[in-house]
Amino acid sequence: MVICGRNQRAYDGLDGLRDREGRPVRVHGFVTNMAEWMTAADIVVTKAGPGTIAEALCAGLPLLITWYLPGQERGNMEWLIDSGAGRYVPGDAELIDEVAELAVPGSPSLLSMRAAVSQLARPEAAAEVAELVRSVALKLS
* CA-based nearest residue to 66, from 126, 9, 125, 132: 9
Q: Is the pLDDT of residue 131 over 90?
A: yes
List domains and CATH numbers for the chain: 33-140 (3.40.50.2000)
* Average pLDDT rounded to a whole number, residues 103-110: 94
* Average pLDDT rounded to a whole number, residues 125-133: 92
Residue 106 falls in which region: left (phi positive, over 0), alpha (psi -120 to 50) or beta: left
Give pLDDT, residue 120.
87
Q: Model confidence at 122, in pLDDT bands (50, 70, 90)?
A: confident
Torsion angle of C-alpha atoms 135, 137, 138, 139, degrees rounded to 10: 90
Give pLDDT, residue 123.
76
Give pLDDT, residue 125.
84
Element holding 25 (H helix, E strand): none
Give pLDDT, residue 102.
95
